[in-house]
Chain A
Amino acid sequence: MYRYDTVDKTLVAERVAQFRDQTRRFLAGELSDDEFRHLRLRNGLYIQRHAPMLRVAVPYGLLSSTQLRALGGIARRYDRGYGHFTTRQNIQFNWPKLENVPDILAELAEVEMHAIQTSGNCIRNTTSDHLAGVTPDELEDPRPWCELIRQWSTFHPEFTYLPRKFKIAVTGAAQDRAASLVHDVGVHIVRGPDGNLGFEILAGGGLGRTPIIGQVVREFLPREHLLSYLEAILRVYNLEGRRDNIHKARIKILVRSLGIEEFRRRVEAEWENTRAAGPRVTAGEIERLRAFFDPPAYRALQDADPAAGKSTAFRAWYRYNTTAHKVPGYRAVFVSLKKPDVAPGDITDTQMELVADLADRYSFGEVRVTHTQNLLLADVEQDKAYELWRALDEAGLATPNIGTLTDMICCPGLDFCSLANAGSIDVAKLINERFDDYDYVYDLGELELKMSGCMNACGHHHVGHIGILGVDKGGQEWYQITIGGAAGADASLGAVIGPSVAKNEVAETLARLLDVYVENRQPEERFLDTVRRLGVKPFKERAYAAPVAA
């Protein structure tokens, strides 16, 4: 993985000093709330319902065991012993004290981490495929490009006060595991007409109040122009994006109002300027970055079936919580953060330390955060999977549910977030209680359930096969349900099935939707495909056919 050199270390250390002074000035009354807000937001610090929330950047979801251990220590000493992994591969601490934040940032800097630009109207953490570098369906490892973008976007002088936040996702595989079509900019590694690798550039995707699927701005961009092209997109957005209405300020609204043709024309015209004066990507620099992501020292092994003859529990875990690796004899192993009685994405201090130890023992000392709020040990020898499972299981990190109904994406909701209209963690709990029969859950097959506590859509409900949105109705928590959304290469937005339902009706309503699927599915057909084939109508009819008995 990428290691800091003196430039990186200098910048992060200077940022810690700067933020320490800004915090001191705020606490001394020299900075107003509003002035400090803009400064703290560029350091990932929100003022939340109970306490400040600090979001720490995990660039493209990649952590060393040392870093994960440090996060565990921070959770224990500055928080209440846990952290929360997000859909953008970052980690959030919900209970730090404002006056401690400079010290936390200083501790993060020691392990080459920071909270720079994890909030605020600037370029956020670049996200990517959690299977980058190990998946068999990959054209090229996207991580060197992610690191290039991370560096270029960090403290970018021109793009620090954009109309609104700006999120970039980069993928290099056939399957899109980074939800790049619902990002402000999606960067896809593709092969060009001349056979060389370059990029397809999309813009204008996003969720929130106005969900929109991104559109292609440029079908093929030669690789040396990546940064100058991104600068052109961002400059058009910075100058022309709306600033009069926070709900219409994302680039998706600009792209939609101009139309993709006119947006493209403006970007290409500005690119004439940025290509001459902006950053160019030299072969030397990208090779330097690429070397950080060289494959680890894999052993020469053969593929085996470690599940053969083992317990049912291990076989289920191996089937659901591990996935194919391009190197024979290896598997990528998910660490499920979706235990039924735990908020999705939450992990304790000791669990972080344990996963760090397991990464050292079984996966070359690296851990990845997935877009679906789990962790991943990417390079595990198949023969070691059983040992690893025993250790994970003992720590409550082996819930065998990856890719199933109970592998829910969920925002922190009303329990923590000052924006939320409704609870999401307690609904996740109710759903887990209702669907506690693994045979049934496995029979339902691949299913993405995504839940947001408000229309800001941090839980990506629009692109869930089933989406749940918390809404406030006269001070009560209600839930609107959508079906048919998807976040991958075939991204689509879910359709609302009808009126929202009360909290105690959510699980029963889901059960009815799933009944329609089970009764109508064709062989090998996923829930999503059945919805796409039949449309919303039969699902809607069943969902509201009779009152739900509370």
Chain B
Amino acid sequence: MPRRLLRDGRIVVDDWSYLAEAPGNADAPLILTLAEWQTERATWIARGGPLGVMLAPAHSVGVLVPDLERFALIGAEFPGPSDGRAYSQARQLREHWKFTGELRATGFVRRDLVFFMARSGFNSFELPDTEIEAAAAALSTFSAAYQPSNDAGLPFKLRRRLPDTPAIA
């Protein structure tokens, strides 16, 4: 059964596959773990189809930097409701490393969290299928925010108190 996910505020069918899901088509978009990417880097570069990579919470985003332009997707994992490292990874990727591809939240992703994730830079969300409609609605839980952030995943503009710096305008 195809996987549904939330991307840019809309519910879509996932056009990406993980390596473990064994995609048949060599040009199909493929998501690798960091270890898979690192062990056979040359093979993957030669492959041709769009590539994505998954970061674990303990990984420094710096390990991806030399290859950043090769990835159309970066996934980051929330192992449970209390581990928030991926929020920082997302902001670093968007704001410092200017990653403009798909940034996907995986793991413990729920309607109550997607607003914060979207404000940190995630624009796609893999969550339990039964939770997707509610999560799409929850992106508009708040219509305003105090602090500037990149808000990459929000499909609308928030009312803002502190101004953006030119770097992220």
Contact = CB atoms under 8 A, between A and B. Distances in A.
Contacts of B148: 278-279
A160 B85 CA distance: 10
A95 to B, nearest CB: 27
Given A273-B92, A277-B168, A156 B147 contact: yes
B35 interface: no
Interface in B80-130: 81-85, 87-89, 91-92, 95-96, 110, 112, 115-120
Given A276-B165, A277-B168, A157 B146 contact: no
Interface string B47-71: 0000000000000100000000000
B112 A7 contact: no
B84 A238 contact: yes
A296 to B, nearest CB: 26
Contacts of A154: 146
A157 B81 contact: no
A545 interface: no
A319 interface: no
A161 B96 CA distance: 21
B159 interface: yes
B95 A157 contact: no
B144 interface: yes
Contacts of B144: 7, 10-11, 14
Chain A: interface residue count, which band? 35 or more
Interface in B137-169: 141-150, 159, 161-163, 165, 167-168
A280 interface: yes
Contacts of B60: 239
Contacts of B83: 161, 243
Interface string A131-159: 00000000000000000000110111111
A155 B146 contact: yes
Contacts of B112: 18, 22, 39
Nearest to B92: A273
B139 to A, nearest CB: 12
A227 B116 CA distance: 19
A35 B165 contact: no
* Interface SS of chain A: helix
A10 B96 contact: no
Given A121-B82, A155-B145, A239-B88, A7 B165 contact: no
A282 B145 contact: no
A199 to B, nearest CB: 17
B111 to A, nearest CB: 9
A238 to B, nearest CB: 5
Given A7-B161, A152-B147, A35 B141 contact: no
A162 interface: yes
B130 to A, nearest CB: 10
Contacts of B145: 11, 155, 157
A303 B110 CA distance: 61
Nearest to A154: B146
Contact of B149 (A15, A158, A161): A158
B165 A280 contact: yes
Contacts of B91: 158, 235, 277
A470 B165 CA distance: 50
B9 to A, nearest CB: 16
A160 B84 contact: yes
A492 B110 CA distance: 44
Contacts of A152: 146-147, 162
Nearest to B138: A18
Q: Which 8 A-B pairs rank lowest in CB-CB distance, beginning with the nearest?
A: A161-B84, A157-B119, A277-B95, A157-B116, A151-B146, A273-B96, A38-B81, A158-B87
Interface of A: 6-7, 10-11, 14-15, 18, 22, 34-35, 38-39, 121, 151-152, 154-162, 227, 235, 238-239, 243, 273, 276-282, 285
